[in-house]
């Protein structure tokens, strides 16, 4: 059987290409994935276990359990001071599935999509799977953080652009888009009917405020915006595969029908755990953020002054994306670091064009392990690049 060209051309992303060399090896300090090593809190697990024990093992509504959708609305309204329409809230499965369905909703063969690089590799793959072509506009590293002006983003839109992916706070750079720039982009996209996929999964991981600016604060009910969010990051629930979208109000039926044919609704007992996360989880959100803030400090201390390493401080998310001057092949470097020093990081090349001199380091791991891993990375840089 032949495979569709677009699918045949897909490559496994560079993060798993490195990680699957030594997955679950206890000798490895794993800073490759976007997750910490803290197990989901007990009260969330307990809610899901209770649901399973009560026999909640059947299909649920493919739009999401009504109680979870209501809890998401209450959470968002409280966090941003808004009154989001319940018809806009949908729970197809994990945030990744939300991005996939949003891309399917907007794109077909020959259309164009725009991503703001450096970016998470899954996004371009998801976009390309629709048949669309992907363009990229790149942030710049500065001493105070990664930046891009909204005018540069708008200038990169073409007459064929049908969707733009805005991930703020950004994986892998920590860039955060301010509200006035979100508003400027939204205005242009409204005029030209371009979909914005606003990936806000790191919305609670910002250093200095309660939440990052959200498109939800400025988008009207039927603006061309799909805000994607999830439980993986802020509540330490990566393995649960559960998230949500807030979509244009008039797209309610299409979200249900696409959800039906992609996953037929999210896992039932995971949805019950997700309700507990929203209703009881503020303490968890703050504890995790405090830990990530300490991890961020450690990264800045260990790598910040190294003569071969340029590191822009991340404003949000839990990644550092340093440039290692003299490194020419990020995959080869990350593989050798893993083999020689038992430290796992993600190679820069997989985050889009012009990232071959970069590595992505997740600093959500326990602080001792993180510091040890970073010291070994520095040793390796000194041994191999001097």
Ligand X SMILES: Cc1ncc(COP(=O)(O)O)c(C=O)c1O
The answer to whether 237 touches 246, Cβ cutoff 8 Å, is no
Contact flag: residue 90 with ligand X (CB under 6 A): no
Which residues ranging from 244 to 263 are in contact with ligand X (CB under 6 A)? none
Minimal distance, residue 174 CB to ligand X, in Å:
11
Q: Is 117 in the site for ligand X (CB under 6 A)?
A: no
Q: Which residue has the tokens 């399973």?
A: 52
Choice between 95 and 212, CB closer to ligand X: 95
Q: Is 95 in the site for ligand X (CB under 6 A)?
A: yes
Question: Using the rule CB under 6 A, is 291 a contact of ligand X?
Answer: no
Q: Which residue, 197, 263, 205, 191, is CA-closest to 236? A: 205
Cβ nearer to ligand X, comparing 34 with 265: 34
Q: Which two tokens stand for residue 357?
A: 């001199």
Kindly state whether residue 100 participates in binding ligand X, applying the rule CB under 6 A.
no
The helix/strand/coil state of 310 is strand
Rg from Cα positions in the chain: 20
Of the residues 64, 230, 273, 281, which one makes contact with ligand X according to CB under 6 A: 230
The total of other beta-carbon atoms located within 10 Å of residue 257's CB is 12
Cα–Cα nearest to 318, from 96, 34, 122: 34
Give the nearest distance from C-beta 359 to ligand X in angstroms: 16
| Residues facing 309 on adjacent strands | 324
Query: For ligand X, which residue of 16, 104, 135, 238 counts as binding (CB under 6 A)?
Result: 238
Per the structure block, which two tokens stand in for 66?
């009504």
171 makes contact with ligand X (CB under 6 A): yes
Query: What is the smallest separation between the CB atom of 95 and ligand X, expressed in angstroms?
Result: 3
Query: Under a CB-based contact definition with an 8 Å cutoff, are residues 234 and 72 in contact?
Result: no
Considering the complex, what minimum distance in angstroms separates the CB of residue 54 from ligand X? 25
The first and second tokens of residue 300, run together, are 């800045």
CB of 173 to ligand X, least distance (A): 11
Residues that bind ligand X (CB under 6 A): 34, 94-96, 120, 167, 171, 199, 201, 230, 232, 238, 243
């Amino acid at each position: 059987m032949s495979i569709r060209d677009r699918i045949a051309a897909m490559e496994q992303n560079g993060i798993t290409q490195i990680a699957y060399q030594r997955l679950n090896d206890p000798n490895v300090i794993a800073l490759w994935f976007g997750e910490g090593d803290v197990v989901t809190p007990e009260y969330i697990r307990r809610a899901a276990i209770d649901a399973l024990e009560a026999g909640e093992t059947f299909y649920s509504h493919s739009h999401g359990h009504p109680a979870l959708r209501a809890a998401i609305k209450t959470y968002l309204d409280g966090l941003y001071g808004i009154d989001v329409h319940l018809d806009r809230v949908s729970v197809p499965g994990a945030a990744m599935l939300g991005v996939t369905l949003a891309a399917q909703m907007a794109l077909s063969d020959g259309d164009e999509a725009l991503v703001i690089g450096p970016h998470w590799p899954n996004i371009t793959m998801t976009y390309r799977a629709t048949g669309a072509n992907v363009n990229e506009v790149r942030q710049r590293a500065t001493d105070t953080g990664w930046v891009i002006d909204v005018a540069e983003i708008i200038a990169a839109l073409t007459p064929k652009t049908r969707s733009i992916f805005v991930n703020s706070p950004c994986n892998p750079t920590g860039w955060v888009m301010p509200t006035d720039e979100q508003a400027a982009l939204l205005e242009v996209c409204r005029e030209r009917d371009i979909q914005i996929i606003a990936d806000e999964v790191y919305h609670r991981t910002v250093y200095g405020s309660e939440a990052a600016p959200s498109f939800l604060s400025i988008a009207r009910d039927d603006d061309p915006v799909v805000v994607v969010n999830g439980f993986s990051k802020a509540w330490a629930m990566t393995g649960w595969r559960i998230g949500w979208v807030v979509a244009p109000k008039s797209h309610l039926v299409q979200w249900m029908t696409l959800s039906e044919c992609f996953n037929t609704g999210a896992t039932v007992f995971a949805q019950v755990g997700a309700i507990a996360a929203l209703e009881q989880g503020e303490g968890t959100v703050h504890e995790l953020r405090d830990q990530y803030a300490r991890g961020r400090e450690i990264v800045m201390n260990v790598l910040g002054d190294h003569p071969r390493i340029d590191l822009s401080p991340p404003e949000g998310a839990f990644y550092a994306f340093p440039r290692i001057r003299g490194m020419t092949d990020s995959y080869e470097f990350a593989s050798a670091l893993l083999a020689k020093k038992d430290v796992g990081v993600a190679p820069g090349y997989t985050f889009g064009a012009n990232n071959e001199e970069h590595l992505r380091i997740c600093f959500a791991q326990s602080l001792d392990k993180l510091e040890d891993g970073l010291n070994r990375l520095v040793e390796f840089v000194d041994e191999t690049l001097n």
